[in-house]
Structure formats: C-alpha cells, structure tokens
Homo-oligomer: A and B are copies of this chain.
Amino acid sequence: MVESLSFSDTFEPNFRPLVAIELAKGTKEETIEWFTKRIVDKKANGGAQLLVKPLVTENGGENIYLVGASHLRLLLGAEAVGLVKECNDNSMRTFTYSSRKTFKDFADDNHNFLTMSECQYIIKHELENLRAKDEKMIPGYPQAKLYPGKSIVRRLLTNGILVQIFPLHDREELKKLRHSWYGRVKVGYQPLDEIRCYFGETIALYFGFLEYFTFALIPMAVIGIPYYVFAWEDYDKYVMFATFNLLWSTVILEVWKRICAIMTYRWGTLLMKRQFEEPRPGFHGVLGINPVTGREEPVYSSIKRQIRIYLVSLPFVCLCLYFSLYVMMIYFDLEQWALDYHEENESNFSSLMLFVPSIIYAVVIEIMNRVYRYAAEFLTSWENHRLESSYQNHLILKVLVFNFLNCFASLFYIAFVLFDMKLLRQSLATLLITSQILNQFAESLLPYWLQKRHKKRMKKHMCSLKTDMDLSLVEQVNLEKEMGTYFGTFDDYLELFLQFGYVSLFSCVYPLAAVFAVLNNITEIYSDALKMCRVYKRPFAEPTANIGVWQLAFETMSVISVVTNCILIGMSPQVNALFPDSKMDLILTVALAEHLLLAIKFIMAFVIPDKPRDIQIKLAKLEFESLEALKQQVRTTDVTTTTV
C-alpha cells in the first residue's frame, strides 16, 4: 500500500459522486463529524482519504452523503485491491501505480481507465476497511463499542446509525447498456463485457452462465420433443435419451469451466489473488499479523472455525434435514388421510379437504425455508470466515442442501417408494411450470410494477414532470435510495440449480422438461436484465473468478441424476418385460450400467482440462515471471545489503 499521496489531494474541482451513504435520521452531529473526518482523513492517519459531500435536499434533511475520490486516489486504491488490467503487450497484470504507464488505455487524463463499477468497488473496499484505532466507542453512542481493528462501517450498520451504503447509477451508461442488452429486437448474445463493466464480474458471470446453460439445454430439448410428440415408450430409445443426457451434462459442466476461465482471464479476475486481500468486514478476532501477507489484521484460529463448522453447523444442518423429511412424511400421511376421508364421505367439504394438506405443506415449507435461511446466515457468520468467497460458499452449501431436500424429497418419495410414474410425471410438470411462472412474476415483474407505481408517486410528489434523463442528482439519489436491494446472485443460481434438477434427475420420465427450461431461461434472461436495470439499486461489483460452490452443486446433481435415471429405467415396465424370468438379472444389469456411466463421467471430468491451453500457458508464464522476479529481488536486496 502506497500512502504517499500528499499533493493537493483533499480538494478536487470536479467532484464525481460514486457512492451514497444514508445515515439514520437524527444522527448526532458529533458522530457525523467524526465519521466524515475519518473518511476524509489521510491514509497515514488511518483515514480513507476519500471525498465527501452532503446531499443538500430541499427539505434540508441532511442525512445523505455522497462519496467520491480523486483520480489519483482511485488508482492507488486499484493497486490496494489488486485489480488486474490489460497491459500494452496484451498480457494481464496486477495494476500498480508506478507501472501505470505500461497498461493499455492508460493516460493521466483518461478518467475512464477504471470503470465506474471498479471505482465504486474500490470506495466500498476503502470504507469497509476503515478500522477503529484507539477509539473505545463511536462518538455520541457509548453503547456502540469499538476495539482496535474493528470495521467502523460494520459497527455503524449493526447499530443502525448507518442505514445503507449504495453505489449510484450512471443514467447515461445504463441507458446504453439497456439498449444493447434487451432494448433491441435483434436476437444475439448478451453484451457480457458491458454488463461486467457496469455491474461487475459476479453478475456478468451469472448472466454468462444463464446464457451458456440455456444454449447447452437446447440439444436436450430438441431430442426430447419427439419423445413427447410421438409418445415413444420404447426401452432402447429411453435408454439412449437418458445416456445422452447424463454424458451431456458432464460435458457442459466441464466446458463451462473452460469458458469461465476464458472470460475471467479477459476480465482479470482469474489472476486476482483474493486470498491475499484484507478480510471481509464481518471477520473478527484479536488484532495480529497475517502469516502470509505480514499485514496487521484480525486473526482467528482455523481450528476454532473447523470446530464450529463440524461440531455445530454440520449437526444443525443434519437435524434440519431430518426435521424436513419428518414434515414431509406427515404431509403424505395427511394426504392419505384426506383421500380416505373423501372416499368415505364424499361431499363438497371433503373434496375441499383434499387440498388442505398441500396448502398446509406449502406454507410450512415456506416458513421452514425462511427460518432455516436466517439460521444458516447466522451460523455462517458465526463461523467467522476470513474471505467473502469462503463465507458465501459455506452459506450457499447450507441453504442448497436444505432447498434440494425440500424440492425433490417428495418427488423421490413418489418415484422410489410409491413407484407411481404417472404421478411423478404429473408432479414434475406441475412443479416445474408453476415454479417458473411464479418465480418470473415474483422476482421481477411484480417489483417492476411496484417500482413504476412508486416512481410515479414520487414524481408527482416532487411536482416534476421531467423525463428520466433530466433527473437532478438529488432526485436520482432520493429515487435510488428507495429502490430494493439486490441481495446477490444466490436466488438466481438456486432457481437454475433446481431447474437443472427437474431436467436431469427424472429426465427419462419427462423428456419435455428441457423444453420448458429453455423457454423459461430465454424469458429469464430478459426479466433478470430488467430486474437489474430497473428494479433494484445498483449493486456493488464483486470480482470473482468462477461460480464457486455452484459448480460443485451442479456436478453433484449430475452424479445423482445418473443414479436416479438408472433406477427409473430399471423400474419401467418395458425394461421389466425384457427380463421376464429374473428380477435379479435386471437389477444387476442396471447396476452395471450405472457404474459404467459413473466411471465414464469421472474419466471425462478428469480428462477434459479445466482451462484452455492458451490460458494455461498465460498463467504459467505469469507464475514463471513472478518466480524470476522473486529471484531477482532477493538478488537486488542482497546486493543492497552487501553494499551497505
């Protein structure tokens, strides 16, 4: 970290607001003064050395502050967060201020060298790493304790003094992006690089995955259609379809890794070493020295974390899973009871009663999901992960397993306990289609409509009839601060994951699933795009090199689907008819086929390299250069030492 920026950096003539901070109404004057002073203060004094301006509104409620930074400060911040940019020789390198001239498109007066989302990410990083020094509490709030190394912003947030921090939209850029993303009628790829520039890598990668996944499902859908149209029920055709699906899903997941590597290499995040970053703001521990980077930061024992994960979180998750299964069994009992009741005394009331178990079950599942999600967030936060990615992965894994069970347990029960293929096909179709429609409605169309209404009311309230483009900064900030917050890609990935489950787990029972999935995903791209651009506050960009634990989740799903499909084929009457004499031969044949398929899957996953060869070479080259530089440096240091 270079802390040597002293030359006239506190005043910048053209202040460009990047991030808005909303404080609670009635925040004490001394707190505001202390907080803004810490933000503006020199790095050497433990400040963030950013620029702050209060947003002066008509009614004078001065509880919103705009944060910006000088161009120089942003460049130094880019070095601190370890941004990777393209050099003049087309290689990707970690940006440093002193080597700035070697980077492509760099010029001292080119303020577009860093994208706006990168600038906002830098400011977020600097604000979050504003840590307490010798303050014992937040001035004006004696109950808000501080200790050395505690993130100030986090303490302000948990104490409700700070309401929110959010990056501002760039109306001009957003309009351009909207146009090229979903404004044109022309069908084409999404402008992923532009999305990345505006929303950051995590969101661009989600849209990239969504698009890739949709394309990858098309062969499945195309092959699935004739099965539905001609009502093919032949044994060999089903086996062929299932086999193709199972191997295909391995191929698409392996190929995605390669595509992801190509994209994130171009974006620089593949080379970003996030593990060397400063810890996430929620991370706490005794102030110590990081053994890897040698920087002063909170330190927390990895063994303690392991104990928390394996002795508390893991048993808790298992218990919840058991409870969820138990609830499902009660539901099936209730269903049976309602059916019996209806058969015994047939009446209007009894046929109404038939729906009661399903409704109760749906409500209970929804409640369980919410409670569990809250508990999972609490536990993962309590596990105290140092890196945001590690926190996310552990949280996702916890929620994933529970959702998987809730979604598919009843289908598994119908398939492998009740052996009712008709009911399975019917439930599958109902679940898939209704969940897709509901999701699209609840996720973007409803919020969009609410948003529109709210905006209209706001505008009327402000008595302004200007167009979207002419909104003043005050109006823009006031509008955006009321918009919903986008809580990350979790729910979007979860939706895709469950969809992949519907498509692959029982693919040989319902070949049409892939068709619905493709249709849904095409509209999903547009509704998600609308959601990002119109409904939510702009989210902070989050650099990422891959889709993290989702890759593992999709791969696990594809392994499980080998097992389920083999069993389903083994249970089908057509296949049973082939082995009239002995069930044993049938089961052994199915088991053999399953093992063969699994073996092929694992060999394929092993043989297909995760990164294309040219990316591998580029990474190796960088590693080689790093090692050579280290040798060189030791040499230089040595020479210096011996000279002195």
Contacts and interface: CB of A to CB of B under 8 A. Distances in A.
A330 interface: no
B629 A273 contact: no
Contacts of A275: 620
Interface stretch (A97-105, A153-161, A173-181, A199-207): A97-105
Contact of A587 (B291, B588, B613, B621): B588
A488 B418 CA distance: 59
A94 interface: yes
A617 interface: yes
A337 interface: no
A283 to B, nearest CB: 17
Given A587-B588, A613-B302, A630-B626, A639 B98 contact: yes
A149 to B, nearest CB: 20
A237 interface: no
A625 interface: yes
A292 B621 contact: yes
A591 interface: yes
Interface string A110-131: 0000000000000000000000
A566 to B, nearest CB: 10
A99 B634 contact: yes
B98 A635 contact: yes
B626 A627 contact: yes
A99 B635 CA distance: 5
A101 B292 CA distance: 24
Nearest to A100: B638
Nearest to A94: B631
Given A617-B292, A621-B292, A99 B638 contact: yes
Contacts of A637: 99
Given A101-B638, A101-B642, A621-B292, A96 B631 contact: yes
A292 B624 contact: yes
Nearest to A622: B630
Interface in A262-302: 273, 275-276, 291-293, 302
Contacts of A489: none
Contacts of A624: 273, 276, 292-293
Contact of A99 (B291, B292, B302, B631): B631
Interface residues of A, number: 43
A102 B638 contact: yes
Contacts of A98: 634-635, 638-639
B99 A273 contact: no
A93 B634 contact: yes
A347 interface: no
A43 B457 CA distance: 82
Contacts of A273: 623-624, 627
Nearest to A636: B636
Nearest to A635: B98
A276 B636 CA distance: 22
A629 B628 CA distance: 9
Nearest to A82: B627
Given A102-B634, A292-B620, A621-B291, A595 B626 contact: no
A246 to B, nearest CB: 16
A31 interface: no
A99 B630 CA distance: 11
28 contacts: A94-B630, A94-B631, A96-B631, A96-B635, A98-B639, A99-B631, A99-B634, A101-B638, A101-B642, A273-B623, A275-B620, A291-B617, A292-B617, A292-B620, A293-B624, A583-B584, A584-B587, A587-B591, A591-B591, A623-B626, A625-B630, A626-B627, A626-B629, A629-B629, A629-B633, A632-B633, A633-B633, A636-B636
Interface of A: 93-94, 96, 98-99, 101-102, 273, 275-276, 291-293, 302, 563, 583-584, 587-588, 591, 595, 613, 617, 620-627, 629-639, 642
Give me the 3 closest cross-chain CB pairs, A-B, nearest first.
A626-B626, A98-B635, A99-B634
